[in-house]
Structure 1
Amino acid sequence: MASSGAAASAMSESATHAEKLVDYLNASWTPYHATANARAKLLAAGYTELYENDVWNLKLGGRYFFTRNMSCLVAFAVGGKYKAGNGAIIVGAHTDSPCIKMKPHTASGKNGFVQLGVQPYGGGIWHTWFDRDLSVAGRVFVRRGDRTCHELVRIDRPIMCIPSLAIHLNRTVNKGFDINCQTHLPPILATELKSRFEMPVTAEDEKKASGGDSPDASALRHSPLLLKLLAEELKCKPEDILTFDLQLCDTQPSIIGGACREFIHSGRLDNLAMCYCATESLIETDHSLADETGIRMVALYDHEEVGSGSAYGARSPITIDVLRRVTRASCEATGDDGTDALERCVVNSFLVSADMAHGIHPNFADKHEPGHQPHMHKGMVIKTHCEMRYITDAFSQHVFHECGRRAGVPFQQFVVRSDCACGSTIGPALSVMAGVRGIDVGIPQFAMHSVREMCAVDDVNFAVEHMTGVFEHASTIIGEVDSKF
């Protein structure tokens, strides 16, 4: 563990990373926006954008990235001393968070209100979404002349709300709110009366909104009011909006708060905080890339909150695909026949599965295992589970401990109570799929999966420094361990 001096030093230095994280959170309402903002950061740092359907021309010392589905990003830097078969140091995180998504047909409403058809995504604390100033954001496919474009959209003002039922009509609400996601979650977009007066919808509008002369033209697929709002933002006609993947978003900005400005209050800390820290640490180690013998990689996957089972999630072959292409390029450049190069690369690789952790809550301290209570301001949390719900083992703990020691940052341990279940991460999914050894870690936070979460400013800085230490020291530390085990 690092000394208290390191913690004190971080108190004065961590605000910069916290402020940058807050900016990233405010710009990243959805996985699509989070990926776009990470892409912009990498381009500004001089990384070369690749496309998966192109032939890659990779070089030693090169820094690259690509995106998939606009919601997943992989960035990697090839060490100046890399040879085929050498391992990769991978920090993985995920871009998605529990949220309320729109259904394929959003048109809904009753009793004189325009509402939207929605569905829950992931394991959210859904009662926290009530009585919030909500808007909408995501990806839209738009017809632009003879081309179909996929574009990002966000409406920056509150346009809807999910109001609570008055306590006079639900006297037992404070004893527990049993939410029916089908009937209780649809938000109110407008009253039918106002929507007709403020944004008149003609019969032709309704026909276009429902798909023209398609078989389902009699039933509106989407609220014409919603399409008009999206069209205004996208500067297109409502009928040019083809399909979309949209979600409800809380418009309250992410902020640095607390009496001593020691906390970050925001939605989507799980897991955009780790996406930010991983990307930042990769960029910060570019100066030492010339002496690196391996590959440094950051992978920001989608769909972790629903099991990672997609072409853009950690269970997909995307990670192995990158290692295979880098290994193949090295073999071609050196004339190596490539025998077992990929397999040797996998065995020599190390994964840091970075996902937010549960800090000890002063009002619910009994929910934590007595000997493993992560505190804020005390660094990253190493998560362990004997049934491998987390991939941490003795080897990976040693590597991560030593990286933290050399970086001069504190770290701490977490084990879930024996009478409680633990959450999931990308760690087991990726480890099983790729066969890479690794560790599960994260920043301690409160209110995980709420619409509004909370973590400590200092721990953001500790996380960047610890991950920087992983990129700079892990290959050496692994090489110092007897490999015959």
Structure 2
Amino acid sequence: MASIRLHFLLSKPPPAAVLPSCFFSSLFPSAFNASLRRHRLARSFSAARRLFCSKSDPPLQSDSRVGEAAPSIVGDLLDYLNESWTQFHATGESSNSSILLAIICSYVLIPLISFSIAFSPLAEAKRQLIAAGFRLLNENDEWDLQPGGRYFFTRNMSCLVAFAVGEDYKVGSGFHVIAAHTDSPCLKLKPRSASSKSGYLMVNVQTYGSGLWHTWFDRDLSVAGRVILKHNSGSFIHKLVKVRKPLLRVPTLAIHLDRTVNTEGFKPNLETQLVPLLSTKVDEAETKSEDKTKASSSKNIHHPLLLQVLSEELACDVSEIMGMELNVCDTQPSCLGGGNNEFIFSGRLDNLASSYCALRSLIDSCQSPIDLADEQAIRMIALFDNEEVGSNSLQGAGAPTMFQAMRRIVDCLSQERMTEDSFERTLRSSFLVSADMAHGLHPNFPDKYEEHHRPQLQKGVVIKHNANQRYATSGLTAFLFTEVANLHDLPVQIRETVVLAIFCNNLQIGYFVFVITGILDIYVWLWWERTRMALWNSDHSLALVVGKSMLGILPTYFLATKDFPSMKNDMGCGSTIGPILASGVGIRTVDCGIPQLSMHSVREICGKEDVDIAYKLFTAFFRSFSDIDKKLIVDF
């Protein structure tokens, strides 16, 4: 998503050796000096030995295990990550300066891993879709859709839906969808971020999602996101911003002042101790900008020094900054690593790796005129925001975005052929692949994994199962998705997360949880049922309400640990957008993901081969699922 190359201007980068993405900024945290660059180039490493995976490098070779030889997308993924510091950069608008930078970056940047915020991946996705011939739609306008057409729209600069209509589309044909999310756990600036302690200027932050927050200490951090600016005409515009230089840091306490940290663990207070440093004194820039900030709505909310840095990055006056939505981001670039360069080291792999594979698979599965010629279905990707905090937002999977888009697309394509059950038949014929990263086997903690379900890196995409529907995979959907993989000789792995109640492991704890949650359940149901029934019929008795509320005890008893499924019955796991979309849209769903280590750390790791396998599998899904689904004669 963040390969910010304009494909419609430059078909491919020049073959000459390319400098790393930090070349154009002497302030970039990992900038190479001239002598180091000359030394690095003089060593003439082969492509397999290069630390950074760039478009200028020779194409990475695919493993023969994954079927047909195809160019690796890992280099593009690195570019995508390095440019996508936020979800906004992934799907949002780009300024004129961004277009110029895009031309430059098509020669010098590492494609995938640069995304820092959810906005970033969407901006890059938008650029790539337009370059591939997709037409941007406005949800406020009437849509004119035609078979064979390719379209997309965005919401909040952090949610994107793109689709390609088969040339042979018929009323009732289904959607073949790959859905992922663009957000990652991070630190976000508080609405009032300015504070000071002991002579330091501090930036107050709030945690977003369930991150491994101790990994954010002692990292070279900066900010990225979007800023609201007041235009000369009196109107307001927004711009994406990304400060590449290290701007912030959260220092740890020296071992001499905390001798127990290695024995009792590092347990920072997230409110008082996870606060980044900005400066030790008031800089001249802050003094000069003090008068300008009087006209700004950000006065006394954010440090004038921070506003000055942002204004320089945006080439505007401090007084023009009306508001902002900024993430704290790690400035270390994404790269390849390991003895054989077989790993991807990066932040935000969860879940930009899945998002990028979905994006590329849609674009590449319909780039040729014949790709959609015999297709009856509609190929779609949906990239959502806010998955890490529950998906309940306008731009999250909990909103009816995909359902409304599907209905609107069917209405536009059906026209006079539309019948009362056209959309319902479409949903019954549809299939969703929910792509989110999976836990790979950690060699130092093998006891944390169920003995017979241990996904490994470099062994393919993981199909996720959970008896309590934390994942939406069923036996049927897993079979269909596996058939796609088998048809193209692509490896897949199985991860099962089966959960029983706590009392299966400890009867006393289980009984305690049962009693407490049962009482709370009765209380809540009493209040809710009494209030609801009072609105319907004042004749309902309290006994009936109590009787109905007792029904809440049984599910509470069995689902006491519903938030803690994992690879073992006595541990917990997360969930994803799969169950939300499966129940909200009413669509057959399989949950899958690329295995990784260090999930939700500021720096994560996954296998290079798995990224290519996921891309090939998603592309194969778009190209062959229609034929596979026709062979299914069971009642689903």
Q: Same fold (TM over 0.5)?
A: yes
Shift of 1:168: 1.2
Q: What is residue 588 of structure 2 aligned with on the other side?
A: 437
**Secondary structure at 1:405's aligned position in 2?**
helix
Q: Deviations over 1:140-165 (max 9, x none)?
A: 11111122111100001001100001
Partner residue in 1 for 2:181:
94
3-state SS, counterpart of residue 268 of structure 2: coil
Cα offset, 1:199, TM superposition? 4.0
Q: 1:380: how far off?
A: 0.2
How many Å separate the matches in 1 of 2:475 and 2:354? 23
3-state SS, counterpart of residue 100 of structure 1: strand
User: Is 1:165 the counterpart of 2:253 in the alignment?
Assistant: yes
SS of the equivalent of 1:16 reads coil
Q: 1:92 to 1:224 in 2, by over 3 A?
A: same
Q: Per-residue deviation at 1:205?
A: 3.9
Unaligned runs of 5+ in 2: 1-61, 88-118, 497-566
**Residues 440 and 475 (structure 1), Cα distance of their counterparts in 2 relative to 1, 3 Å cut:** same
- TM, length-normalised to structure 1: 0.94
Pairing partner for 2:387 from 304, 316, 335: 304
Match of 2:396 among 306, 310, 313: 313
Q: Does structure 1 retain, via aligned residues, the 8 Å contact 2:74–2:612?
A: yes
Q: How big is the shift at 1:179? A: 2.1
Measured after TM superposition, the shift of residue 237 of structure 1 is 1.0
Cα offset, 1:338, TM superposition: 2.6
* Residue 346 (structure 2) aligns with: 266
- Of structures 1 and 2, the larger Rg is shown by 2
**Displacement of 1:222:** 1.0
1:189 is matched with 278
- The number of aligned residues is 469
**Structure 2 counterpart of 1:466:** 617
Q: 2:420 aligns with which of 339, 364, 372?
A: 339
Q: Give 3-state SS (helix, strand or coil) of 2:583's partner.
A: helix
SS of structure 2 residue aligned to 1:476: helix
Q: CA deviation at 1:176?
A: 1.2
Corresponding residue for residue 179 of structure 1: 268
User: Does the 8 Å contact 1:127/1:177 carry over to 2?
Assistant: yes
1:188 shift after superposition: 0.2
Match of 2:489 in 1: 408
State whether residues 286 and 304 of structure 2, in contact with CA within 8 Å, keep that contact through their aligned partners in structure 1: no
Distance across 1 between alignment mates of 2:225 and 2:364: 30
CA distance in structure 2 between the partners assigned to 1:480 and 1:14 by the alignment: 28
2:191 to 104, 107, 126: 104
- Residue 81 of structure 2 is aligned to residue 20 of structure 1: no
Q: 2:409 maps to what in 1? A: 326
> How far apart in 1 are the matches of 2:391 and 2:69?
35
Is this contact kept in 2: 1:208–1:239, CA < 8 A? yes
Aligned partners of 2:221, 2:355: CA distance in 1, in Å? 24
User: 1:420 aligns to what?
Assistant: 571
1:127 is matched with which residue: 177, 194, 214? 214
Pairwise CA RMSD: 1.6
- Between structures 1 and 2, the one with greater strand share: 1
Q: Would the aligned equivalents of 1:106 and 1:223 in 2 still touch at CA under 8 Å?
A: yes
State the distance in 2 between where 1:126 and 1:427 align: 26
1:291 maps to which of 374, 378, 402? 374
Task: Spell out the pairing of 1:148-159 with structure 2 (5 A cutoff).
Answer: 148-159=236-247
Q: Distance in 2 between matches of 1:40 and 1:337?
A: 34
CA distance in 1, matches of 2:328, 2:261: 24
User: Matched residues in 2 for 1:454 and 1:247: separation?
Assistant: 21
Cα contact 2:65–2:490 (8 A) shared by 1: no
* Structure with bigger RCO (C-alpha 8 Å, 6+ apart): 1
Structure 1 stretches of at least 4 aligned residues deviating more than 2 Å after TM superposition: 6-16, 195-211
- C-alpha distance in 1 between matches for 2:475 and 2:210: 30
Q: Deviations over 1:225-247 (max 9, x none)?
A: 11111111111111111111101
Give the TM-score normalised by the residue count of structure 2: 0.72
Measured at CA, do residues 12 and 133 of structure 1 come closer, stay the same or move farther in structure 2, by a change above 3 Å? farther
Which residue identity does 1:161 align to in structure 2? R
Q: Which stretch shows the higher mean deviation, 92-101 or 236-245? A: 236-245
Check if 1:8 corresponds to 2:64.
yes
Report the 3-state secondary structure (helix = DSSP H, G, I; strand = E; otherwise coil) of the residue aligned with 1:475. helix
Unaligned runs of 5+ in 1: 1-5, 212-216
Distance 1:60 1:378 in 2: 38
Match of 1:393 among 464, 474, 478: 474
Q: Does the aligned pair in 1 maintain the 2:346–2:604 contact within 8 Å?
A: yes
Q: CA deviation at 1:474?
A: 1.6
Residue 245 (structure 1) aligns with: 325
Quick one: distance in 2 between partners of 1:233 and 1:457?
Answer: 34
1:484 Cα deviation after fit: 2.8
Counterpart amino acid of 2:607?
A
Residues 408 and 10 of structure 1: CA distance in aligned 2, closer, same or farther (over 3 Å): closer
Percent pairwise identity? 48
Q: Contact 1:91 / 1:352 at 8 angstroms: preserved in 2?
A: yes
After superposition, give the CA deviation of every residue in 1:65-107 in whole Å (9 maximum; x if it has no partner): 1111001111100111111221101100000000000011111
Sort the Cα spacing of 1:450 and 1:43 in 2 relative to 1 into closer, same or farther, 3 A: same
2:5 alignment counterpart: none
